[in-house]
Amino acid sequence: MAEQEWMSEVRAKVGREYGRVYAWDEVNAPMIRQWCEVMGIDNPLYTDAAHAAASEFGGIVAPPAMLQAWCLEGLHMNNYAPGSTDENPYEVLKMMEAHGYPSVVAVNSDLSFERYLKLGEKLYYTTRLDSVGEEKTTALGTGFFVTLIMSFFSQKPAGDEKVGQLLFRVFKFRPANVPKPAEKGAAPAVPKYKRPQPGVSDDTRFFWEGVQAGRLLIQRCTCCGTLRHPPAPVCIDCHSFDWDTVEASGKGEIHSFVVMHYPEVPPFEHPNPIGLIDLDEGVRLVAGLVGVKRDEIGIGQRVQVEFQSFDDGELTLPMFRPVAG
Amino acid sequence: MTSKNSKRFDDVRPGEALPELAIPITTTLIAAGAIATRDYFPGHHDMEAAQQLGSPHVFMNILTTSGLAQRFVEAWAGPAARFKDLRIKLGAPNYPGDTMTFSGEVVRADAASREVDVALKGKNSMGSHVTGTATLVLP
C-alpha cells in the first residue's frame, strides 16, 4: 500500500541530529544514594567512599542504569537546563499525532556504557532520529515504531568525551480499542488473567467432567467398539449414534509438539510446550506438556497424564509429563 | 542485596540460572522510583492522571525498570562486575499490588573479553513486564 503523503515529511527527518540537552546537576553522591535506596541496590561502589576509593575508579561512581536520569528536565515539562536546545527530538511524534496516531508506548530501552561516571562530571546528550518503521498493526493498534539514539557526553576541557548511549524505541499508534476511562473512585485493581474455559457441549461434557474427577475418558461406539477423540455424536466407522466411554490409562507418546514463544499471552508460562499425544488406546489428543525441557522434547517420547488445577480450582486440565520409555 | 563476593569469570558457565528476585510493586515504589530518576510524568505518581490515560492505577516508569534490572543482575554478579550494556524490552505494565519476579540465565561467556551476557525476564501477574539482556565484564 502506498504510504500517505504526510509521511514523506516524517521520513525526510530520519537521520536528523538534534542539539544538546544538558544535565541540571553534575553527577553527585546524594542523588546516587537516593536512587540506590529506592532501587534496593547496596553495591558499595556507589555509596561507600572507602570501598570505591580502592576500586579502579578511585572513588564513588554512578550506577550505570542512572545514565538517562541525569539529563531529564525534572518537575516542569520541557524545562531543560540552561544552554539546552529548543529543538524537539520528538517532533515526528507530534506530526503523527496530528494525523490520527495519538497514543505512544515505549518498547525498547537499550543502554550501553563506555565507562562509569565519576562524581562531578557534567553531562549532556544529543539525539538522532534513527529510524521510522513501516506502518504496522499490533495488538495495541496501528502505527509506527520510531527509534531515537541519544548519545551522552561528559564535558571535558580537552574535548568532550562520549560516555554512553541510549537507543529508545516507541510505538506511536492509533489504538485498536479506545480505553474506557476508569470509573471514578472505583477500587483500582491489577487485572487478573485466567485461563480460558473450554466450550462444553452435550457431546463433550463427559470428557470435562471426567477430567474434573481425575479420569481421562475416551468415547467408544457401543455398536462396533471404535474409540474416537475429540468427542463427536456419530461413530466415525459405523455411523452409530450409540456410545459410552472407557477410561484411558493416560499413557502414550508424543506424536508431535509445538513450543509457543511469542507472543507471551498471560497467564500462560512461556516457553509453552504443547503436545499432540498418541494415547496407547489408539486415539490422539492435544494437551499441555509439563516437566519438559524445551531442548529435550522429542517425537516418540513416552508420557503419562496428570491432572492440574488452575485458577483456584475453576479449571482442571489433563497435562502430560515425560516418563522413562 | 548485592553480594559482596563478586562472581569471577571462571566460575560462570552459560546455562547458569540467576537466583530469582521477587519485588512487590507498590504505589510508593512506583512514585519514589519515578522521582529518584527525575521523571515527573503524572502517570507515575498521580492515580487520577493515570486513570485518565486509561490505566487502572499509576504505572512504573522505564528508568525504574532499568534500575531494578540492574539490581537483579548485580545482586548475582557482585560489586566487581562492570556493565557494558543493559538492553530491555517493555511489556505488561507494573501496577501497585502486583509482584514482579525476575529470573535470568547466563547465555554467553566470552573468555577473551571476560564478558558474559545475562538474559533476564521480569514477570508480573499479566505476563512479562520486561525482558532483556545485560552484558557484564567479570573479574
pLDDT tens by residue, B35-87:
999 999 999 999 999 988 888 999 999 999 999 999 999 999 999 999 999 99
Domain boundaries, chain B: 9-137
What does the alpha-carbon distance between residue A276 and residue A290 come to, in Å, rounded to a whole number?
A: 13
Record: fold of A6-27+62-175 = Thiol Ester Dehydrase; Chain A (3.10.129)
At A41-61, the pLDDT tens digits run 999 999 999 999 999 999 999
pLDDT at A5: 86
pLDDT at A182: 47
pLDDT at A244: 96
For chain B, the straight-line distance linking the first and the last C-alpha, in angstroms and rounded, comes to 20
Mean pLDDT of the region A91-119: 94
Mean pLDDT of the region B112-139: 96
CATH number for the region A250-325 comes to: 2.40.50.840
**Contact with chain A for residue B99, Cβ under 8 A:** no
Q: Cα–Cα distances in Å, from B83 out to A27, A234, B76?
A: 18, 64, 13
> Chain A: nearest CA to B36, how far in angstroms?
5
Nearest CA in chain A to B131: A108
Query: Residue A189: is its pLDDT beyond 60?
Result: no
User: Of A265, A95, A106, nearest to B63 (Cα)?
Assistant: A106
Contact list, A31 vs chain B (CB under 8 Å): 36
Contact B36 A264 (CB under 8 A): no
Query: Residue B28: is its pLDDT beyond 90?
Result: yes
pLDDT at B1: 45
> Chain A: nearest CA to B84, how far in angstroms?
5
What does the alpha-carbon distance between residue B71 and residue B74 come to, in Å, rounded to a whole number?
A: 5
- Where does CATH 2.40.50.840 sit in chain A? 250-325
Contact B56 A35 (CB under 8 A): no
**Which of B57, B66, B73 would best serve as a mutation to test chain A binding (most A beta carbons within 10 A)?**
B66
The count of other CB atoms within 10 Å of the CB of residue A214 is 12
Which DSSP symbol is given to A177? S
Contact list, B57 vs chain A (CB under 8 Å): 188, 190
Contact B84 A72 (CB under 8 A): no
User: Of A37, A60, A36, A39, nearest to A48 (Cα)?
Assistant: A60
Nearest CA in chain B to A47: B79
Query: Residue B7: is its pLDDT beyond 90?
Result: yes
- Where does CATH 3.10.129.10 sit in chain A? 6-27+62-175
| Amino acid identity for residue A186 in this structure | A
Q: What's B9-137's CATH class? A: alpha beta
> Chain B: nearest CA to A250, how far in angstroms?
31
pLDDT at A56: 96
Q: Which residue has the cell 515539562?
A: A77
Nearest CA in chain B to A104: B53
Which member of B56, B71, B127 has the closest CB to residue A188? Answer: B56
pLDDT band at residue A1 under the 50/70/90 scheme: low
Residues composing chain A: 325
What share of chain A has pLDDT > 70, as a percent? 95
What does the alpha-carbon distance between residue A111 and residue B65 come to, in Å, rounded to a whole number?
A: 12
pLDDT band at residue A262 under the 50/70/90 scheme: confident
At A213-261, the pLDDT tens digits run 999 999 999 999 999 999 999 999 999 999 999 999 999 999 999 999 8
At A148-183, the pLDDT tens digits run 999 999 999 999 999 999 999 999 999 886 555 445
> Chain A: nearest CA to B92, how far in angstroms?
10
Q: Which residues is B33 bridged to in the sheet?
A: none
The continuous run of DSSP H or E covering B42 comes out as none
Contact list, B70 vs chain A (CB under 8 Å): 39, 41, 63-65
pLDDT band at residue A283 under the 50/70/90 scheme: very high
Contact list, B127 vs chain A (CB under 8 Å): 193, 264-267
pLDDT at A265: 79
Contact B59, B65 (CB under 8 A): no
What does the alpha-carbon distance between residue A223 and residue A236 come to, in Å, rounded to a whole number?
A: 12
Counted across chains A and B, CB pairs separated by less than 8 A come out at 145
Contact B129, A190 (CB under 8 A): no
Contact A35 B37 (CB under 8 A): yes
> Chain B: nearest CA to A39, how far in angstroms?
6
The count of other CB atoms within 10 Å of the CB of residue A107 is 18
pLDDT at B13: 95
Query: Residue B6: is its pLDDT beyond 90?
Result: no
Whether ipTM exceeds 0.90: yes
Which member of A40, A45, A111 has the closest CB to residue B85? Answer: A111
Contact B87 A108 (CB under 8 A): yes
Query: Residue A188: is its pLDDT beyond 70?
Result: no
Which member of A38, A74, A188 has the closest CB to residue B33? Answer: A38
User: Of B17, B61, B36, B38, nearest to A35 (Cα)?
Assistant: B36
For chain A, the straight-line distance linking the first and the last C-alpha, in angstroms and rounded, comes to 54
Q: Which residues is B76 bridged to in the sheet?
A: none
Contact B97 A266 (CB under 8 A): no
